[in-house]
Each structure stands twice: as structure tokens, then as C-alpha cells.
């Protein structure tokens, strides 16, 4: 690289992107470890796929999808590549691509960045980390119930207390046109509208529906249906008013079974409810859908959501394969947990730092550092530009180290070290063996 | 999504990309866990940055870099974005962008996908996972020695025995023009050439150098210099022949100190050596450089490499900040470890699977599953399309489960389960409490 060509460049990110510094990244990794632990305890297995996919894999040939997709110009000239917008479509590709390697049922989890070119808003990012769990080749709604149980267990293990998993069934929504007397082709618009009740309120949604359907009776019927969610026994009542639609009746029956299974899985009743306004935006859902919201932060939207998508895998040839799953938006969850005061910011991981204030003792402190690490004690070594003890000590304290090891000429010649407690301001003169013994008990 | 628009699409990946299915992903995650454990034990802290950066951040305004960069078309119209090609440039940006939040010395690690549009070859991918450790604000070569110690410890903990960390210093190479009598501006070409000795052999490199330098004496001098690496006391001899160059002398002195520090850190002598042919391709190195090769797989290239880059951070304004670090190419390392037979392919993580062959007992098996999980036993639940016991059992065996739990009508009515060992083909009738007790000892 020619130095003259290099300009001074502003160290900026593009819009809708964010960095995680250690104080946020340390607790974020704990969140990821917790999620992985729960997913593995349920028998989900990890896969990984590239962020770059062929564009046609992602869009399914549907031009409607292109608007949120980042297209890529490959320097070697390969065309028609793009960045994935979720981990579900890549899963469907993988299931189709490796029919012999992958035995079904296939319970897989995957964590990875996904990319959506939406306008930035609070808690929404162009690039964000998703953590998904899916069960492919699982026809029974017992699988959907297990996904809801997984959502419940994960949020509980993360220390979130006041959440609600809202459960619905696309099959019921598909019966809505017949029940409310509007044209089948309007169903997309109607679902998009009722999905917003939670965020925008009924008054705003009512306006949209009236404009779209031009029938007061239809809008009234939709309102009556959605309002059932707040009543006792919504499924019993829904069964009555939608008995003409066989799709809806089947969907209601599935939710009844899911209710029973959730009880068997031990999911507390306060943590979930039937909610007929849940539609979920993505086009590929075919059965039960679910989304977890945080009751103390309704405006942040859902943090863990998904549903059944029995037809997606058939996009890649072959027959339909029943599949269900859900996805955590890790970055949005992190923002929410910060607001809920559930994030413990930390500045260090190592237990102790060895200072290095005497050039003649550099080899001695290196030796101590290596021996502590070999004894299983996480150990930092001061390698910065402060030469004096005082400056190094103040760095150690600002980074949150409770224990600091000092070794100068005197310690070196007696093969000892000083262990300083920065909180109690006490100091002990120890041999290396004593030091290791002591640190292991702390 | 309109179903008629959907075509059947081939489930293919683009060139130079790969998937990881569970049998590879389970051991790959263990590798990542091991690396993270070692990095954290050295006091490195995690950060995360987006895969998408402003293009100018990545290229530094240098048009030479563009050839390997994936440019991105953002659907919202934001221009001049690209995918990062390493994690070092984003680190330099982060250090410049958060001068108050980040205290120096800053020891950070980062794991993430990076993207290079190179022609695909064996073990080279367009998208690959890098795991980096760097120390920013560290002027002493003690920091470089710590990076070499980190490489040694990481590869050792991964179970790799026969590796060699080759260490050199860019400052010595910068003195090469003076010593060998060629024009300073040829240094880039000369470094690129000698970097290939290991891969292509001297005969091929000699041709390139002769064409470039048009002086037999210069080429001979270069050969003599590179050959010193194989002799005893290469540093002593190099000091003699390059005494005229103060840059080279300073570089040699640094390597002498690194040698002493490596001894102090306890890095075994057989695991590293001085090698004057190591140049490392990237333009930003300014001091010591290092690369680890696997002696049993020389053709695969280096798996863990890096060096000192004191000027990179100044690209973003402000003064130079001394920095050093190294990077693991995880995908290449994985390919290498597969070849070395160090990868243990596994099909499952959960300890046990609960079968589900009687529709009337679905709630009972869900309850058992949930209770096992709550007792800390990782438990899968069969959710596939096989309805019979036989088919489900053969699935469990093919997925590697040693223990399988069976519960039908009889077990449900007596509140018991059958625990089947698929290897010994024995079976026990147990209460849930007995089951949990038993599984905890296995």
C-alpha cells in the first residue's frame, strides 16, 4: 500500500449498524451462551451457512422480496448474489440440498448475522444477529408446542420475568374472509392491518380496513373476532362464530391441542395466551404462529417469534416438508434487556492482571503470567505505554481488576510477587505456589 | 407471497462457499469454544462489529484493495458500502471511533465472517470465519511475544502437535534493498516473491526475482539472506551481514528480545523458529510478523498468523498507535484438522431421546421430556413422521443415541417409563425419579 494515497478517513459506520464494545459484548456473549445452552438441552443441533446466498434462493423468484435485500457485486464477476435476510430460507435450502446427510426430523439451531435494508428505526438494524431453532419433518402440533416451550424456557433462563407469548394460527386467519364477508384476495392487506393493532391501536387499523374493504359489516366482524382474544375461552367462542370455515375450525382444533401440550410441558399459563391479532409478516407461515413480547416494553415489538411453514422447503423441488420454528432477534432483545436493567456491564474477564513496570523484570513477569495461565487462572499482562507503577495500577483499577500482581527487582531476586487487593488496599508477599493457591480460592 | 410466482429453485450455493451440517458443526463449535477459552485466559476481551462497513474504511482510499472487496447495493439507496475483508481494519476504526470508551492497552478478540472475492482454491473460501486477537497501544515487543505465546497455547489446546510458528520482522526485510543492492521501490515485489519460497520453491522465485531486479548479485544476496534461517544462530549471522542497515539492525535486536520473552513464556523451542522468508502479504505490517504452519500439511499454508501494524490506526486521524495481533482462519484450520484426523464427528448433543409412538400418550411424553430438561438432562423428543416404535427407534440409533426413553399406555397408567440402552439392548422400568437419578450418573 502506498502511504501517500492514504487519506485521513472518518471512523464512521453506515446507517442502521452498530458496534459492541467489551462492556456490552461480555454480557451479550453470556446471553448467547444461555440461549445455546437451552437450545442444546432441547436436542437442537447447530448448523452454519454462508451469509452470501444466490439471490434466487432468497427471493424464490418473487420480485416483491427484492426491496429489502442487499445485492452483492462479487469481484470475481459471479453475479446474482445477495445477503440472507433470515436463517429460515437457508435452512430450507440446506434440507433440500443434503437429503441423505440430514435425517428427519431435523432439529437444528443456527446463530448468524442477517441483513435487511429497511429504514432504520429504534431497535431495528440493517444487520442483526438472529438465533433460530427449527424442527423440520415434524407434522404434529406437539412440535409447535415444543417451540413455544423453548421460547418460554429461553426467556425465563435469561432472567426475563414479565413476558407473554402470543399464539395464533394462520389457518384461522385464512378463514377470516369467509367469516367476515370480504374477498379472499384482500386477505394479505387485512392480515397486515390487524398485525398492527398492537402497535398502532384499533382506531388507526379500523381506518385502513374501512378504506380497503369498503364494508362496515366486514370491519365490525373482524373487530368482534379479534376482541375474542381478551375474553375467557376464546377458542370456544371462535369455534362458534367461525364454524362455517373448515380451515378455521381445523386451526382452532390445533390451538386446543397446543394448549394441552403447553400444560404438559409445564409452560406457566401467565406466560402465554391465544391472540387472534397475531399474523406475523412473512408470507411463508401456514399454521400456528407465535411471538413473545415484553409486557414492560410493548413498543419494542416481539423479541422471539416464529411459526409453522409447511411449504417453504418445497420451493427447492420435491414435496412439502412440515416444519416449524422460531427466531430471536438478539440485538433487539439486548436493547430491551438493557432497558429492563438486566444487563450487567463488565470491563474484564481475566481474574488478575500482572503489572510490568520494571524493564529488567519483563522476562520475570512473563514467566509468572505464563505459569498462572497454565494453572488455569485467567491472567492479563500489562502491555501498555504507561511505564510507572502508579499509571499501570490506575489502569488496572479502571478496568475493574480487584487483584493485581506486582513484581520488581526485589521480588525477582527473592522469586516472589506482591498480590495487591485494590479494594481493601492490602498487599501480600507470596511465592508463586502460594499465589496460585490463593488465587484459586478467590 | 404469490404461490404461482414461485419456481422450483436448485438448492445451490455460490462458488467458494460452504455449509456446515451438525456432524461438522458440533466439533467446529468445540474448536471455537477452545479458542475463546484460551483468548479469554490471556485477558483478551470480546467486541463485535458489523460485516458491512463503508467502503472507504476498508480500502483507506487505496484503489489497489478494491479487487478483492464485495461491494453492496443497499435497498434504501445508501451507497459506498462493502463487506469487510478482515477484522483488523474494523478494529482500527473502533479504536479511533471510541477514544473515551476504550482504554489502552486494549486487548480485544473478535470472531466473525470476513469476505474476499479471490478465486476459489482448496481450503480457500470467499466467506470464512476469522478469530482474531490484538493488543492496541502496546509498544513493547513483549506484546508480540505474547501473541506468539497465544498462538502456541491455542494450537496446543486444540490438540495439534506438529506445528511451527515462523517469526520474522518487517524491519529486517525493509533493510533488504540496501543490503542486496536493489532499488527501494522494488521492495514490494521482492517481498511478494520471497513469501512464495515455501510454496513454490526457490527455483521459481529465483526466476521472478531475476526478471524483476535484473542483477544476479542482488538475487544471490537475497538467497544467502533467506538461507540463514536454516543455520544455527540466524540472528547473529544476519546482524553481521546487514550491519549497514539501521532498520534491519533494530529489527534483529527486536527478534532477539522476542526470543528471550518466548523462553520466559514457556513456548517450547521446537514450536517456533526465526524465518527470514516470512513477509505476510498485507501492506500494513511494520514490525514482527508471525505465521503458524502445520508441518504435516505444508501445502495448506498458514492457519494462524499476524504481526505488528503500528500505523494502521492513524488512517482514521490522530497519531500512530502501536498494535500487534494475529488471526486464525477457522475454516482452513478446520479443513486441516479434518486431514490430521483431529475432528470427532458427532450426530447428537442431547443425552437421551424420548420416543412418541402412542398418540394418546403425547402429553405424557411431553411432561417427561420437560421434567428431564428441568433436572438438567439434555433431552430430545421425537417429533417426526414415523408413527411406530420400530421406525422411531431406528432413527434414535442412527442419530447416535445410546439411551432412549419409551412410554406407552402401560407406562402412563403406572407413571413409569422404560429406559432402553441401544448398545447393550437392555431395558429398565423406572419411575421418573429413578430415571433422573440414573441418567445423572451416566
Residues on chain A touching B118 (C-beta within 8 angstroms):
76
pLDDT of A359 higher than 80: yes
Residues on chain B touching A108 (C-beta within 8 angstroms):
22
B20–A284 CB contact, under 8 Å: no
A353 vs B298, residue with greater confidence: A353
- Residue B77: closest CA among chain A residues belongs to which residue? A117
Residues on chain A touching B145 (C-beta within 8 angstroms):
366
Q: What is the mean pLDDT of residues B182-194?
A: 88
Give the per-residue pLDDT at B4.
46
Segment among A69-73, A152-156, A197-201, A322-326 with least mean pLDDT? A197-201
Q: In angstroms, what separates the C-alpha of B41 from chain A's closest C-alpha?
A: 4
B104–A384 CB contact, under 8 Å: yes
Report how far residue A63's alpha carbon sits from residue A335's, in angstroms, rounded to the nearest whole number: 33
Residues on chain B touching A268 (C-beta within 8 angstroms):
none
B11–A348 CB contact, under 8 Å: no
Question: Going by C-beta distance under 8 Å and a sequence separation of 6 or more, which residues neighbour residue B416?
Answer: B407, B429, B430, B431, B432
Segment among A46-50, B115-119, B407-411 with least mean pLDDT? B115-119
Sheet holding A45-46, edge to edge: A45-46, A106-115, A127-136, A323-329, A304-308, A288-294, A163-169, A272-274
B72–A70 CB contact, under 8 Å: yes
Give the per-residue pLDDT at B123.
56
Q: In angstroms, what separates the C-alpha of B131 from chain A's closest C-alpha?
A: 15
B97–A373 CB contact, under 8 Å: no
Q: Averaging pLDDT over each range in B46-50, B65-69, B120-124, which range is the top one?
A: B46-50
**pLDDT over 90, % of chain A:** 76
- Residue A94: closest CA among chain B residues belongs to which residue? B11
Give the per-residue pLDDT at A120.
55
Span A59-71, pLDDT tens digits:
888 777 766 899 9
pLDDT of B7 higher than 60: no
Give the per-residue pLDDT at A282.
65
Question: Going by C-beta distance under 8 Å and a sequence separation of 6 or more, which residues neighbour residue A230?
Answer: none
Q: In angstroms, what separates the C-alpha of B212 from chain A's closest C-alpha?
A: 19
Radius of gyration of chain A (CA): 28
B107–A395 CB contact, under 8 Å: no
Give the per-residue pLDDT at B6.
47
Q: At what angle do helices A22-41 and A330-339 cross, to 10 degrees?
A: 120
Span B90-104, pLDDT tens digits:
999 999 999 999 999
In order of A63, A241, B58, the CA distances from A190 in angstroms are 21, 18, 45
B421 vs A6, residue with greater confidence: B421
Segment among A7-16, A126-135, B100-109 with least mean pLDDT? A7-16
Residues on chain A touching B124 (C-beta within 8 angstroms):
none
A142–B264 CB contact, under 8 Å: no
* Confidence band, pLDDT 50/70/90 cuts, at residue B282: low
* Confidence band, pLDDT 50/70/90 cuts, at residue A268: very high
Residues on chain B touching A383 (C-beta within 8 angstroms):
105, 107, 135, 138, 140, 142-143, 146
Q: In angstroms, what separates the C-alpha of A134 from chain B's closest C-alpha?
A: 12
Report how far residue A239's alpha carbon sits from residue A251's, in angstroms, rounded to the nearest whole number: 9
B366–A67 CB contact, under 8 Å: no
Give the per-residue pLDDT at B3.
47
- Residue B156: closest CA among chain A residues belongs to which residue? A374
Q: In angstroms, what separates the C-alpha of B65 from chain A's closest C-alpha?
A: 9
Q: Is there a contact between A90 and A53 (Cβ–Cβ < 8 Å)?
A: yes
Q: Helix (H, G, I), strand (E, B), or coil: what is residue A287?
A: coil
All 3 cell numbers of residue A213? 374493504
B348 vs A283, residue with greater confidence: B348
Radius of gyration of chain B (CA): 28
Residue with cell string 441401544: B422
Q: What is the mean pLDDT of residues B212-220?
A: 92
On average, the pLDDT of chain B sits at: 92
Give the per-residue pLDDT at A321.
93
A1–B283 CB contact, under 8 Å: yes
pLDDT of A6 higher than 70: no
B146–A381 CB contact, under 8 Å: yes
Segment among A34-38, B33-37, B42-46, B185-189 with least mean pLDDT? B185-189
pLDDT of B1 higher than 60: no
B21–A379 CB contact, under 8 Å: no
Give the per-residue pLDDT at B221.
92
Report how far residue B294's alpha carbon sits from residue B165's, in angstroms, rounded to the nearest whole number: 9
Residues on chain A touching B52 (C-beta within 8 angstroms):
14, 17, 70, 115, 126-127
Q: What is the pTM of this model?
A: 0.94
A73–B76 CB contact, under 8 Å: no
B379–A42 CB contact, under 8 Å: yes
Give the per-residue pLDDT at A121.
59
Span A388-415, pLDDT tens digits:
999 999 999 999 999 999 999 999 999 9
Q: In angstroms, what separates the C-alpha of A88 from chain B's closest C-alpha?
A: 13
A46–B149 CB contact, under 8 Å: no
Q: Is there a contact between B284 and B201 (Cβ–Cβ < 8 Å)?
A: no
Residues on chain A touching B63 (C-beta within 8 angstroms):
5
All 3 cell numbers of residue A299? 413498543
Q: In angstroms, what separates the C-alpha of A303 from chain B's closest C-alpha?
A: 20
Nearest to B62 among A6, A81, A362 (CB): A6
Hey, how many other C-beta atoms are within 10 angstroms of the C-beta on A13?
Answer: 19
Q: What is the mean pLDDT of residues A342-371?
A: 94
CB pairs under 8 A between A and B: 392
- Residue B380: closest CA among chain A residues belongs to which residue? A43
Residues on chain A touching B18 (C-beta within 8 angstroms):
50
B350–A283 CB contact, under 8 Å: no
Nearest to A283 among B1, B263, B383 (CB): B1
Identify the CA nearest to B311 among candidates B55, B54, B95.
B95
Q: In angstroms, what separates the C-alpha of A437 from chain B's closest C-alpha?
A: 17
B5–A62 CB contact, under 8 Å: yes
Q: In angstroms, what separates the C-alpha of B198 from chain A's closest C-alpha?
A: 23
* Confidence band, pLDDT 50/70/90 cuts, at residue B408: very high
B60–A115 CB contact, under 8 Å: no
Give the per-residue pLDDT at B61.
80
A383–B6 CB contact, under 8 Å: no
A75–B98 CB contact, under 8 Å: no
Q: What is the mean pLDDT of residues A264-286?
A: 90
Identify the CA nearest to B148 among candidates B324, B284, B336, B287.
B324
Residue with cell string 422471539: A304
Element of type H or E holding A50: none
Q: What is the mean pLDDT of residues A129-144?
A: 97
Q: Is there a contact between B96 and B102 (Cβ–Cβ < 8 Å)?
A: no
Give the per-residue pLDDT at B2.
46
Span A13-44, pLDDT tens digits:
998 999 999 999 999 999 999 999 999 999 99
Q: Helix (H, G, I), strand (E, B), or coil: what is residue A69?
A: coil
Q: In angstroms, what separates the C-alpha of B202 from chain A's closest C-alpha?
A: 26
Give the per-residue pLDDT at B8.
80
Give the per-residue pLDDT at A119.
64
Residues on chain B touching A101 (C-beta within 8 angstroms):
21, 23
B349–A40 CB contact, under 8 Å: yes
**pLDDT over 70, % of chain A:** 96
Residues on chain A touching B139 (C-beta within 8 angstroms):
385
Nearest to B50 among A65, A127, A266 (CB): A127
Residues on chain B touching A315 (C-beta within 8 angstroms):
6, 8-9
Amino acid at each position: 500500500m502506498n502511504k501517500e494515497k492514504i487519506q485521513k478517513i472518518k471512523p464512521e459506520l453506515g446507517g442502521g449498524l452498530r458496534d459492541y464494545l467489551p462492556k456490552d459484548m461480555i454480557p451479550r456473549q453470556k446471553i448467547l451462551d444461555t440461549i445455546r445452552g437451552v437450545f442444546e438441552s432441547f436436542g437442537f443441533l447447530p448448523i452454519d451457512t454462508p451469509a452470501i446466498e444466490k439471490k434466487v434462493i432468497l427471493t424464490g423468484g418473487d420480485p416483491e422480496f427484492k426491496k429489502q435485500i442487499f445485492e452483492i457485486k462479487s469481484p470475481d464477476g459471479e453475479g446474482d448474489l445477495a445477503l440472507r435476510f433470515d436463517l429460515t430460507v437457508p435452512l430450507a435450502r440446506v434440507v433440500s440440498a443434503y437429503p441423505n446427510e440430514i435425517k428427519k426430523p431435523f432439529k437444528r439451531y443456527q446463530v448468524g448475522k442477517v441483513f435487511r435494508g429497511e429504514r432504520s428505526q429504534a431497535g431495528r438494524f440493517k444487520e442483526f444477529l438472529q438465533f433460530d431453532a427449527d424442527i423440520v419433518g415434524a407434522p404434529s402440533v406437539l412440535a409447535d408446542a415444543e417451540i413455544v416451550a423453548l421460547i418460554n424456557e429461553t426467556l425465563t433462563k435469561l432472567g426475563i420475568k414479565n413476558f407473554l407469548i402470543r399464539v395464533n394460527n394462520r389457518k384461522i386467519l385464512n378463514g377470516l374472509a369467509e367469516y367476515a364477508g370480504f374477498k379472499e384476495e384482500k386477505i394479505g392487506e387485512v392480515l397486515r392491518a390487524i398485525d398492527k393493532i398492537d402497535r398502532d391501536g384499533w382506531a388507526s387499523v379500523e381506518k385502513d380496513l374501512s378504506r380497503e374493504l369498503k364494508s362496515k359489516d366486514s370491519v365490525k366482524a373482524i373487530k368482534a373476532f379479534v376482541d375474542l382474544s381478551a375474553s375467557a375461552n376464546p377458542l370456544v367462542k371462535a369455534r362458534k362464530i367461525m364454524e362455517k370455515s373448515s380451515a378455521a375450525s381445523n386451526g382452532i382444533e390445533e390451538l386446543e391441542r397446543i394448549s394441552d401440550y403447553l400444560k404438559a410441558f409445564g409452560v406457566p399459563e401467565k406466560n402465554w395466551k391465544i391472540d387472534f391479532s397475531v399474523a406475523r409478516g412473512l408470507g411463508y407461515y401456514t399454521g400456528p404462529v407465535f411471538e413473545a413480547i415484553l409486557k414492560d416494553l410493548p413498543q419494542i415489538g416481539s423479541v422471539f417469534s416464529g411459526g409453522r411453514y409447511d411449504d417453504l422447503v418445497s420451493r427447492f423441488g420435491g414435496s412439502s416438508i412440515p416444519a416449524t420454528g422460531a427466531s430471536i432477534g438478539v440485538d433487539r432483545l439486548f436493547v430491551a434487556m438493557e432497558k429492563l436493567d438486566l444487563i450487567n456491564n463488565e470491563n474484564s474477564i481475566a481474574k488478575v492482571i500482572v503489572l510490568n513496570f520494571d524493564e529488567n523484570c519483563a522476562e520475570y513477569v512473563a514467566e509468572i503470567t505464563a505459569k498462572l495461565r497454565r494453572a488455569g487462572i485467567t491472567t492479563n499482562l500489562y502491555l501498555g505505554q504507561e511505564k510507572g507503577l502508579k499509571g499501570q495500577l490506575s489502569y488496572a483499577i479502571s478496568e475493574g481488576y480487584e487483584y493485581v500482581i506486582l513484581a520488581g527487582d526485589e521480588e525477582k531476586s527473592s522469586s516472589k510477587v506482591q498480590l495487591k487487593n485494590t479494594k481493601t488496599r492490602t498487599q501480600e508477599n507470596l511465592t508463586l505456589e502460594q499465589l496460585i493457591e490463593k488465587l484459586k480460592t478467590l
